Structure 1
Amino acid sequence: MATVGRGPGVATATGGGARPGARGAMAGVVLCEPGRLYNALQQHRRLPRLAEPNYLSLLDARTQREYNESHIITARKIEQSPTGKYLVPDSEELACVRYCVVYDCETSSLDLSDDEEEEKEKGSNGSSETENTDSSSLCSQNAKEGTAVRHARSLQHFTRHPVLVLRGGYKRFSACYHFLRTQKILWMPQELDNFQLYPVEILPAKLYMGNFKQACDQQIQKDLKIKAQVNISEQPAALFAEEGKYLHVSVPDSLEANLFSSFPTICHFIDAQLDLGAVLVFSSLGISRSSTVTMAYLMHSHQFSLKKQSPPTDTTVKKSGTG
């Protein structure tokens, strides 16, 4: 079975020849915000989840020229037959994969009515029109808007989960996450095992959550434009020396640790810093203490009470696990 990021050499079949999944019903097609794909790329267990064969199939529906210039990291180009028809990746792979994401240049809607009507009007003149188009026109060189949607609708016959179409396509994603662009095509298994993970995005371009190692990485801070940090661990971090940009709440990695009393201070700090730039909340492993604080801030910012979120209990906040 082919895996994401391990090279473009996957078995392919036309839509009519690929065998549908056992359920038979179409999985559907939905738009995917850039932040959702970004977070999917950052997931890990013991190792980055990109190393798992059945985690993510990221497919580039743009032209070969566009793909060669740059593409989203670990993305594969959707292959074409000698006659120019796009091919469907191996149905066995698609039936097992958790996320199937397709993107083109800048599609932002699932509505293809305008594109389809335009194609009908062109009819058989399509090939000659392409030949007569000014070579300086990007439209003649780039994949048409809506290409990703058309591919997603053919892929939905083979996946167990809805096929995701990246909203805004490569243009929007690369504008938000320029550091996830690459020209690299072939990824070895050990490279995926050591894939550089970034903090997950909680609020687009504003609030991030990560671990201690990520908080000490200068390049990550630069790429995400982090302007302030909230450290929820016992170990101090000295990356942000500027006064007022770093809040350290020393909390032990223990089930009995009390974060509740620090929530007002933390929420006030994040509120003040978000007006100035992005904030990173982190703990040792980026699992429990940081997620507890992040959830508390979201409840604070949206004015949700704890009673509305879960049954009242004295240990709801304190017993949140370790990390």
Structure 2
Amino acid sequence: MAARIVMCEPTELYNILQQATSYPCLSDPNYLLLLDARQTNEYNESHIITSKKAPRSPSGEFLVPYDGELECKMHVVVLDSKTHSLKDQGSAVACAQVMSEMGSRNPVKILRGGYEEFSALYPFLRTQKIIYMPRELDELVPYPVEVLPGRLYLGDCRQACRTSVRKELKIKAVVCLTTEANELASELNSDQLLQIQVSDDEEGDLDPHLNPACQFLGKVIGADQAALVCSDHGLSRSVSVVLAYLMVFYKWSLKEAHKHLLDCKSNIRPHRSFVHQLSKWEKTVFGETLTDVSDPNF
């Protein structure tokens, strides 16, 4: 049975490109097949990092790349110049249909707005590089993931300390949760930086910091500016603050906020003590407990 074909928002592809554990997920050959269905001259002029030119037969029909291995790929994403709908008759839809019929085990995604919209939003992810050696993929440095498009990012302290990252993502303010000193204090003023010293263990007490952090983020994002929340690894303390913010300003339950954040960053794992603190925070925000956090998989 052919795989489904669905639309993929630019922020979703951005986050797919930024996933990492010890190494960038892009270094896993089974992680992503990103196919550019535009004309060869357009692709050669500029394309999204790690994307491949979708091959065609002499008659112009799309083919599976020789190393496509569709049945192994976690993500198969196709793009052209500006397809916006599955009803469009552009090259992205035609290419996606072939990938769907030829064995993709997961839904084939078509990038909404195509290369034009994606490159306008993320110009720093454009390149002319065609071939990546395994070591080059291992050494790719991911950006923070995008939680709210153009407004809220989640990452680690190393990313936050890179001036180029803050500039490219237009980040105007940072919430930094760590017990270690870093250079952010010397680079940002008090309106741009909220530092929270809390440990990532059973002793860590986030409760008194959640409201100040949410208000700080609310002020920045409410002014149509971008903010980054970071911690040492970007997996626990920073995640907890972002979850608290989403509950307050988006009125999402802890479960809904957690699901959204897991879609953005697949390896989040807030410390269990923080999960219980967030459960209390949920009750404070909504007046009742909406999420059962007893599930160890939460």
1:52 paired with 2:11, answer no
Q: How much does 1:92 deviate? A: 6.6
| Cα distance in structure 2, aligned partners of 1:178 and 1:200 | 16
Deviates more, 1:63-72 or 1:274-283: 274-283
1:1-12 to 2 correspondences below 5 Å: none
* Residue 219 (str. 1) matches residue 195 (str. 2): no
Equivalent residue, structure 2, for 1:107: 83
Shift of the 309–79 alpha-carbon distance from structure 1 to 2, 3 Å rule, reads: closer
Structure 1 pair 94–263 and aligned structure 2 pair: CA distance change class (3 A) = same
Q: Could you say which residue in structure 2 is the equivalent of 1:93?
A: 69
Match of 1:154 in 2: 98
- Tell me which residue corresponds to 1:165: 110
Aligned counterpart, 2:205: 258
Structure 2 SS opposite 1:287: coil
Q: Which residue of 2 aligns with 1:38?
A: 14
**Percent identity of paired positions between Structure 1 and Structure 2:** 45
- Residue 202 of structure 2 contacts residue 273 of structure 2 at CA under 8 Å; is this kept in 1? no
For residues 81 and 147 of structure 2, what CA distance do their matches in structure 1 show?
Answer: 25
In structure 2, list runs of 5 or more residues that go unmatched: 259-271, 279-292
Give the alignment's TM-score, normalised by structure 1.
0.76
What amino acid sits opposite 1:288 in the alignment? S
Say whether the 8 Å CA contact 1:256–1:318 is kept in structure 2: no
Q: Which runs of 4+ in 1 moved over 4 A?
A: 305-310, 318-321
> For 1:305 and 1:181, how far apart are their aligned partners in 2?
37
The one of the two structures with greater contact order (alpha-carbon pairs below 8 A, sep at least 6) is 1
- Deviation, structure 1 residue 306: 5.0
The one of 243, 246, 251 aligned to 2:190: 243
Which structure has the larger Rg over C-alpha atoms?
1
Deviation at 1:261, TM superposition (A): 1.9
Does the Cα contact within 8 Å between 2:144 and 2:159 map onto a contact in 1? yes
Q: Secondary structure at the match of 1:231?
A: strand
Cα gap change, 1:70 to 1:253, in 2 (>3 Å): same
- Aligned position for 1:269: 216
Indicate the SS of the match to 1:165. Answer: strand
Deviations 1:85-115, CA, capped at 9 Å, x for gaps: 3222248710110000000000000004xx4
Structure 2: how far apart are the matches of 1:70 and 1:308? 37
Query: Which amino acid is the alignment partner of residue 54 of structure 2?
Result: I
Number of the residue aligned with 1:191: 136
| Residue number in structure 1 paired with 2:229 | 281
For residues 257 and 228 of structure 2, the distance between their equivalents in structure 1, rounded to whole angstroms, comes to 24
Alignment-derived partner of residue 135 in structure 1: none
Query: How far apart in 1 are the matches of 2:172 and 2:107?
Result: 36
User: Structure 1 residues 175, 64: closer, same or farther in 2, change over 3 A?
Assistant: same
TM-score, reference length from structure 2: 0.83
The one-letter code matched in structure 2 to 1:155 is: M
SS of the aligned residue for 2:275 comes to coil
Residues 220 and 104 (structure 1), Cα distance of their counterparts in 2 relative to 1, 3 Å cut? same
Partner residue in 2 for 1:80: 56
CA shift, 1:286, in A, is 0.7
Secondary structure of the residue aligned to 2:87 is coil
Greater shift in the superposed pair: 275-284 or 31-40: 275-284
Q: Which runs of 5+ in 1 are unaligned?
A: 1-24, 116-145
Question: Which amino acid in 2 is paired with 1:273?
Answer: V
- Say if 1:308 and 1:223 are closer, same or farther in 2 by CA, change over 3 A: closer
